[in-house]
């Protein structure tokens, strides 16, 4: 068998998809998280439930959309409901196993900023804000984040804390009165980060093929540790790549 | 029979010229009450207090037009078309009073309002900068201990806005509202002291009685029904019409700075007498035909709607 060629986004989608387990309830937005979820559904996890906060459950889209407000993503749903039906009931009742998020910045304890960036001159630039993201991280049992690995995005201090991870680490999340979060995984273009169970700080669990520890350290805004015996992220299989390219994202909107 | 049918200009004219409190039901680029928002601008409403769970094109238009004093929202965008440029700039420059929530946080205030209970507890927003800022700025948001388990909760005061305004597919003249697709705006609609529903078409009560399971809001909640065909254009109405990608791309370009926005506003909103003229300016019937929804898919299936034409 020869070398398998794949893009970084394909590797990220495959890596994220392998974290999902069959039968899980997943709240997801557009982009790579959706691609990863559909890949899991088409491989090892046919019985997952997909929930969009707008009030859509288990759609089977046949056309790519521009966001969860695009009716393309509501096609062949099993249930339409309200914000209360998704965020207020299914999520708040703790029926969601995995919340899939992105963001502008993430810090060492997995807290996320999707609201604003502070510029050097004291001004701010305001972006999307929370939507359901903050709620999803509060109540999901596990939170997976896909984000680009750059110093300005994986930071020591957030410009704004929109979405909770483990707050200031250790037991601070529990002490604040927040529900238990079993795990946070951060999938970047360089590696997969997970949480140290004591300090509740992010640490490198696997490094993508061809990436060095130095690449990760240079692109991380805080002092990041590797777990002893850090593995190399497993490569995509031919079957996974074929599904991504021919069935899930044939136009290459997200995986290129 | 009670007839709640009103004319758009006439119902907007009863809204106070200064300081009205309005909750809008849009979500980014779908079922946004655009015709209603444009009429508020034409009638020069000022210093409004606005609520919208997910900020959308309608709220961005109103903020850009200088009609808003205070905005409470849970974040928002034009999906992949772009940002809410007028709202973002107003926050960046501090020109209006903006209170940001999480999506669930603001929704639960409407839920409490819709049920007539004084407040509702939740763990949503605990530990975030969102709640820190709300505790400083919004007396209706508090953090405290539950009398049951002693744990910390956010207590969200009920919100019953003076007007709730949503855009849906159908209603009858009694105000029974039929919506296809997800209903993110349900609690916001039921919380309003006066619920105004703009609809694509007013249907017979016979239709309602044949399909009562399709009614999401019974007429007991409804103050006024206004027939405004294409009232959400250029945002989508599921099973009726798609979003107009060309018009949204235009908007996402001009809302990046106030000068371009002002030119757009004078040409398309202040320069038109009603929503029909607004649509004519955008390309009229040919445009609407290009975004007509397939009855099964609910959007312009098989069509080309990427805005590149």
- A1 lies in some domain: no
Left (φ > 0), alpha (ψ -120 to 50) or beta: where does B15 sit? beta
Q: Rounded CA gap, B179 and B170, in Å? A: 7
Shortest Cα distance, chain A CAs vs residue B263, angstroms: 23
- A188 lies in some domain: yes
Specify the number of domains making up chain A: 1
Q: Rounded CA gap, B140 and B49, in Å? A: 15
Return the closest-CA partner of residue A79 out of A60, A99, A93: A60
Report, as residue numbers or ranges, the catalytic residues of A.
53
Q: What is the pLDDT of residues A53-69, one digit of tens each?
A: 999 999 999 888 898 99
- B270 lies in some domain: yes
Q: pLDDT value at position A45?
A: 97
Q: CB-side exposure of A139: number of CA atoms within 13 Å?
A: 26
B102 touches chain A (CB under 8 A): yes
Return the closest-CA partner of residue B236 out of B297, B280, B302, B178: B297
- B170 lies in some domain: yes
Contact B102, A154 (CB under 8 A): no
Specify the number of domains making up chain B: 1
Those of residues 230-259 in B touching chain A at CB distance below 8 A are: 236, 238, 242-243
Q: Rounded CA gap, A255 and A244, in Å? A: 8
- B128 lies in some domain: no
What's the DSSP call for residue A104? Answer: S
pLDDT at residue B235 greater than cutoff 80: yes
List residues bridging with B97 in a β-sheet.
Answer: B70
Q: Rounded CA gap, A56 and B245, in Å? A: 22
SS3 content of chain B, % helix, strand, coil (to 5): 35, 25, 40
Alpha helices in B116-271 (DSSP H): 129-137, 186-191, 205-210, 245-254, 258-264
Domain holding A45: CATH number?
Answer: 3.40.1080.10
- A3 lies in some domain: no
ipTM computed for the complex: 0.96
Distances B170 to A47, B36, B70, B217 between C-alpha atoms, Å: 35, 16, 31, 11
Domain holding B87: CATH number?
Answer: 3.40.1080.10
**Max CA separation in chain B (angstroms):** 62
Residues of A in contact with B87 (CB under 8 A): 126
pLDDT at residue A221 greater than cutoff 90: yes
Distance linking the first and last C-alpha atoms of chain A: 23
- A253 lies in some domain: no
Q: pTM of the predicted model, to two decimals? A: 0.96
Query: In the numeric block, which tokens belong to residue A36?
Result: 């990863």
Range of the domain at B265: 1-118+158-309
Q: Rounded CA gap, B153 and B135, in Å? A: 13
Range of the domain at A129: 8-248
Query: In the numeric block, which tokens belong to residue B189?
Result: 């609609």
Tell if the CB–CB gap between A83 and B100 is shorter than 8 Å.
no
Q: What is the pLDDT of residues B48-57, one digit of tens each?
A: 999 999 999 9
- Mean pLDDT confidence for B42-67: 98
- DSSP symbols for B138-163: -TTEEEEE-TTT--EEEEEE----SE
pLDDT at residue B305 greater than cutoff 80: no
Under the banding of pLDDT at 50, 70 and 90, the label for residue A1 is very low
Q: pLDDT value at position B229?
A: 98
A55 touches chain B (CB under 8 A): yes
Distance linking the first and last C-alpha atoms of chain B: 48
């Amino acid at each position: 068998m020869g070398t398998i060629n794949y893009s970084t986004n394909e590797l990220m989608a495959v890596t994220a998809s392998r974290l999902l387990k069959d039968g899980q309830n997943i709240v997801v937005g557009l982009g790579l998280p959706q691609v990863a979820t559909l890949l899991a559904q088409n491989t090892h996890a046919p019985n997952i439930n997909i929930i969009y906060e707008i009030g859509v459950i288990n759609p089977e889209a046949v056309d790519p959309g521009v966001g969860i407000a695009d009716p393309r993503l509501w096609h062949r749903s099993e249930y339409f409901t309200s914000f209360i039906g998704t965020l207020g009931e299914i999520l708040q009742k703790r029926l969601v196993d995995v919340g899939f998020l992105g963001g502008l910045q993430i810090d060492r304890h997995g807290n996320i900023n999707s609201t604003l960036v502070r510029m050097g001159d004291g001004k701010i630039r305001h972006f999307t804000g929370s939507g359901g993201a903050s709620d999803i991280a509060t109540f999901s049992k596990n939170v997976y984040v896909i984000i680009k690995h750059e110093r300005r995005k994986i930071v020591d201090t957030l410009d704004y804390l929109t979405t909770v991870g483990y707050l200031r680490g250790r037991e601070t999340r529990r002490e604040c009165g927040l529900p238990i979060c079993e795990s946070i995984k951060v999938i970047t273009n360089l590696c997969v980060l997970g949480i140290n169970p004591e300090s509740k700080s992010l640490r490198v669990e696997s490094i993508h093929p061809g990436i060095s520890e130095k690449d990760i350290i240079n692109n991380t805004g805080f002092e990041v540790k590797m777990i002893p015996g850090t593995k190399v992220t497993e490569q995509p299989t031919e079957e996974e790549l074929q599904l991504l390219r021919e069935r899930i994202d044939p136009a290459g909107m997200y995986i290129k | 029979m009670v007839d709640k049918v009103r004319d758009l200009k006439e119902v907007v004219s009863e809204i106070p010229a200064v300081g009205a409190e309005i909750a809008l039901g849009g979500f980014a680029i779908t079922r946004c009450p655009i015709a209603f928002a444009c009429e508020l601008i034409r009638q020069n409403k000022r210093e409004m207090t606005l609520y919208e769970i997910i900020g959308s094109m309608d709220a961005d238009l109103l903020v850009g037009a200088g009609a808003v004093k205070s905005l409470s929202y849970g974040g928002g965008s034009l999906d992949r078309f772009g940002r809410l440029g007028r709202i973002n700039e107003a926050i960046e420059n501090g020109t209006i009073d903006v209170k940001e929530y999480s999506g669930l946080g603001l929704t639960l205030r409407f839920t409490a309002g819709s049920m007539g209970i004084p407040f509702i507890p939740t763990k949503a927003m605990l530990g975030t900068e969102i709640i820190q800022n709300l505790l400083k700025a919004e007396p209706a948001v508090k953090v405290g201990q539950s009398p049951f388990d002693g744990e910390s909760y956010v207590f969200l005061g009920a919100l019953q806005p003076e007007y709730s305004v949503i855009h849906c597919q159908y209603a009858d003249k009694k105000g029974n509202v039929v919506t296809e697709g997800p209903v993110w705006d349900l609690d916001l609609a039921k919380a309003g002291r006066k619920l105004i529903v703009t609809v694509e078409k007013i249907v017979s009560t016979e239709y309602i009685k044949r399909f009562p399971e399709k009614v999401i809001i019974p007429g007991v909640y409804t103050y006024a029904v206004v027939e405004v065909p294409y009232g959400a254009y250029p945002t989508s109405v599921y099973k009726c019409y798609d979003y107009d990608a060309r018009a949204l791309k235009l908007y996402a370009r001009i809302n990046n700075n106030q000068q371009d926005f002002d030119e757009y506003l004078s040409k398309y909103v202040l320069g038109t007498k009603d929503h029909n003229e607004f649509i004519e300016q955008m390309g009229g019937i040919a445009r609407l035909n290009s975004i007509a929804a397939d009855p099964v898919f609910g959007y312009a299936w098989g069509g080309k709607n990427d805005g590149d034409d």
